[in-house]
């Protein structure tokens, strides 16, 4: 279909008033239940293009359509809107990568999810009260800037789904191709999202990086425990303790590169060791590695602090300043990319570190770049340049250290990030069990086999052991990161931590690689289960009914975790289950002998007495 129109060069607004939109194309295939239309703002620039729609898959509610835009000449495309509607029938909420704690259908009213290489992922999911998929849509382009939305249209009781293309600085092109995946199958919402993640992973453009076994080892982090007040003696002492607990990696966070301890990023960018703190950094790293731990260090990738030499060198090759004392380097310049890669190569070659925590890469934004220099960058799109930078970082570092560990943090956890990172961490949520639970599970839903880590776990030295355990159980389905000082926590807290890490390592394969089912997403996952051929594990984070179903004949154990605050679990045994033995443990791992039971068959709803933050292990 050939389309000719007069178009606006200004950006689309967040509200996209319909009065400014021209309707260009509407699909007419009667087999497609949700016809798609293409719209764009009309104003003043002449612009012609054709759109070709190819249906790649249309099977039992799963539909993949390729849209090929041909512009007839090399041109910077104008913003284009794809739109369709879905009836609100048996639908209670929506999921998207940065939904946070609001899963309502009207969350973030008429706001768009921004997605590009280093921010979020182009996917949204609509689900029922029982967690069944109602409509999950995703797009094949996870590098270039996209805006997506799923918003209730009150006039029609439908959800209006929108995708905006080219609403950011875009290189000239004569053709653009994108695949839209729409899934309305009656499957679990988690399965629908998992299949989207696999769909991306199967694309050559997003083949995930391998995950070393070391990425699945618990971590000790210096951030919450010490912030920038660092010394090799203190870190080595903490690592001796953490190694005894079962941690396999230490992350040295912000502070190693500066004598200043006032936080902020004014001294970032040069990435030289603060020798007043670490007179022999390579030797310090080696001593910790000799304990059997991997060593990772933190970098704020984009930032050039205004008190750094890097700022003086690159001050005309920066984006807008996200902080008052630091600017963002512009990755569109080859010189910037080369400099950053050299910094990371030095850390691995000279200092001998095993991995890098690469922070703040979402600040490589899709907004109009702010560089002002005679030299022309070799790329136009900032997200595409960030993609090239990080791809080159991983290629270079793997040549030095084949099992290099690279950590990224929520919200930069999309399919492109899996190419150059093998460890995704939940966004910062200190001492916040609810957020740690929600964020780790959100990341898990799209992460595939990429290692997912919790935010660093911490607590007050006077906290009760049951509340410490509550923080810990919240991270059960991720690799735990710990950030407390051995010298200030109580003995009962350490005992709780030791029990948890031992339990987690014993059941690691089940927790990380079993069939994961985070239930009731609209209520922030109050019940979560995982299952393999031998074991089923169910956690109740609130006083809700735990449904036990689908265990195979080969199942040997049912593990029930009380991640809530009540001293009971309400369990619905959907089919008759014979329990030969039940062992009860409190939050510190002490077995409660008086609660051991003789063989019994359970069916229907049962109320089990399980201590708050305790565990019941049932042998079947």
**Mean pLDDT, the chain, as a whole number?**
90
DSSP code, position 316: T
Q: Which residues have CB under 8 Å from 598's CB, separation 6+?
A: none
Question: Which stretches does DSSP call E strand in 42-198?
Answer: 45-59, 62-75, 80-87, 93-95, 113-115, 123-127, 133-139, 146-153, 158-165, 173-183
**pLDDT at residue 57, as a whole number:** 83
For residue 13, pLDDT over 60 is answered with no
Q: Which of these ranges, 90-104, 357-371, 490-504, has the smallest mean pLDDT?
A: 357-371
- C-beta of residue 178 within 8 angstroms of C-beta of residue 139: yes
pLDDT in tens, 270-286: 999 999 999 999 999 99
Instruction: Give one DSSP letter per residue of 138-154, joined into a string.
Output: EES--SS-EEEEEEEET
Task: Give the angle subtended at the CA of 422 by the CAs of 421 and 426, to the nearest 5°.
Answer: 90
pLDDT-derived band at 372 (thresholds 50, 70, 90) equals low
pLDDT at 394: 98
Which of 245-254, 298-307, 435-444, 568-577 is least confident? 568-577
Question: H helices of 117-255, where?
Answer: 189-201, 223-226, 232-245
Q: What would the pLDDT profile of 33-87 be if each residue is shown by its tens digit?
A: 557 887 665 444 667 778 899 999 888 999 999 999 999 999 988 889 999 999 9
What does the alpha-carbon distance between residue 26 and residue 23 come to, in Å, rounded to a whole number?
8
β-pairing, 535-540 vs 557-562, is parallel
Q: Which two tokens stand for residue 41?
A: 């703002």
For the chain, give the percent of residues with pLDDT over 70. 90
* Mean pLDDT lowest among 95-109, 208-222, 393-407, 521-535: 95-109
CA distance linking residue 614 with residue 584, whole number of Å: 7
Print the SS3 string covering 458-499: CCCCCCCHHHHHHHHHCCCCCEEEECCCCCCCCHHHHHHHHH
pTM beyond 0.75: the answer is yes
Q: pLDDT (tens digit, 9 = 90+) per residue, 508-548?
A: 999 999 999 999 999 999 999 999 999 999 999 999 999 99
Rounded to whole angstroms, the Cα distance separating 577 from 570 reads 15
Q: How far, in Å, CA of 450 to CA of 211, rounded?
A: 6
97-104 average pLDDT score: 92
Rounded distance between C-alpha atoms, residue 287 and residue 148, angstroms: 49
Write out the two tokens for 49.
Answer: 């293009």
What does the domain layout of the chain look like in residue ranges?
Answer: 2-206, 515-619
* Per-residue pLDDT, 15: 40
Residue 599 in this model has a pLDDT that exceeds 50? yes
């Amino acid at each position: 279909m050939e389309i000719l129109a007069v178009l606006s060069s200004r950006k689309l607004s967040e509200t996209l008033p319909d009065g400014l939109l021209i309707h260009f194309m509407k699909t007419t295939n009667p087999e497609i239940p949700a016809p798609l239309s293409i719209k764009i703002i009309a104003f003043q620039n002449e612009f012609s293009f054709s759109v070709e729609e190819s249906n790649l898959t249309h099977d039992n509610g799963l539909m993949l359509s390729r849209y090929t835009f041909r512009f007839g000449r090399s041109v910077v495309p104008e913003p284009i809107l794809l739109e369709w509607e879905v009836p609100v029938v048996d639908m209670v909420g929506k999921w998207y990568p940065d939904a946070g704690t609001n899963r309502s259908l009207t969350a973030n009213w008429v706001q768009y999810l921004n997605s590009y290489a280093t921010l979020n992922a182009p996917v949204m999911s609509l689900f029922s009260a029982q967690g069944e998929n109602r409509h999950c849509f995703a797009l094949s382009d996870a590098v270039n800037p996209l805006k997506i939305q799923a918003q209730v249209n009150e006039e029609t009781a439908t959800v209006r789904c929108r995708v905006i293309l080219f609403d950011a600085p875009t290189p000239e092109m004569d053709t653009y191709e994108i695949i839209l995946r729409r899934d309305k199958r009656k499957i679990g919402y988690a399965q629908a999202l998992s299949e989207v993640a696999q769909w991306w992973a199967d694309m050559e453009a997003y083949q995930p990086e391998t995950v070393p076994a070391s990425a699945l080892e618990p971590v000790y982090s210096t951030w919450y425990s010490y912030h920038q007040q660092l010394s090799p003696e203190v870190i080595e002492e903490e690592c001796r303790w953490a190694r005894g607990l079962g941690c396999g990696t230490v992350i040295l966070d912000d502070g190693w590169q500066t004598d200043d301890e006032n936080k902020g990023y004014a001294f970032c960018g040069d990435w030289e060791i603060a020798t007043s703190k670490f007179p022999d950094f390579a030797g310090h790293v080696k001593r910790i590695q000799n304990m059997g731990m991997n060593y990772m260090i933190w970098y704020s990738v984009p930032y050039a602090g205004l008190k750094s030499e890097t700022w003086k060198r690159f001050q005309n090759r920066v984006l807008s300043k996200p902080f008052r004392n630091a600017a963002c380097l512009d990755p569109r310049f080859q010189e910037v990319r080369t400099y950053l890669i050299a910094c990371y190569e030095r850390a691995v070659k000279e200092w001998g570190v095993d991995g890098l925590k690469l922070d703040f890469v979402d600040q490589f934004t899709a907004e109009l770049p702010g560089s002002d220099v005679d030299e022309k960058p070799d790329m136009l799109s900032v997200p595409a340049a960030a993609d090239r930078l990080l791809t080159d970082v991983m290629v270079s570092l793997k040549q030095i250290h084949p099992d290099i560990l690279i950590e990224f943090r929520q919200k930069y956890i999309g399919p492109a990030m899996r190419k150059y990172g093998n460890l995704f961490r939940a966004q910062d949520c200190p001492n916040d069990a609810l957020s740690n639970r929600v964020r780790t599970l959100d990341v898990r839903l799209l992460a595939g086999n990429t290692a997912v880590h919790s935010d660093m776990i911490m607590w007050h030295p006077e906290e009760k052991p049951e509340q410490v355990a509550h923080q810990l159980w919240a991270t059960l389905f991720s690799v735990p990161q710990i950030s407390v000082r051995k010298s200030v926590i109580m003995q009962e807290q350490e005992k709780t931590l030791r029990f948890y890490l031992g339990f987690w390592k014993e059941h690691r394969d089940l927790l990380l690689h079993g069939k994961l089912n985070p239930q009731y997403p609209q209520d922030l996952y109050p019940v979560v289960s995982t299952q393999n051929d031998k074991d089923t594990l169910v956690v109740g984070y609130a006083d809700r009914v735990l449904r036990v179903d689908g265990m195979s004949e080969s199942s040997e154990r049912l593990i029930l975790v009380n991640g809530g605050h009540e001293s009971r679990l309400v369990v619905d045994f959907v089919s008759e289950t014979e329990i030969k033995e039940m062992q009860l443990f409190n939050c510190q791992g002490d077995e409660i002998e008086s609660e051991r039971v003789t063989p019994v068959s359970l069916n229907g709803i049962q109320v089990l007495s399980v201590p708050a933050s305790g565990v019941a292990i049932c042998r079947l």
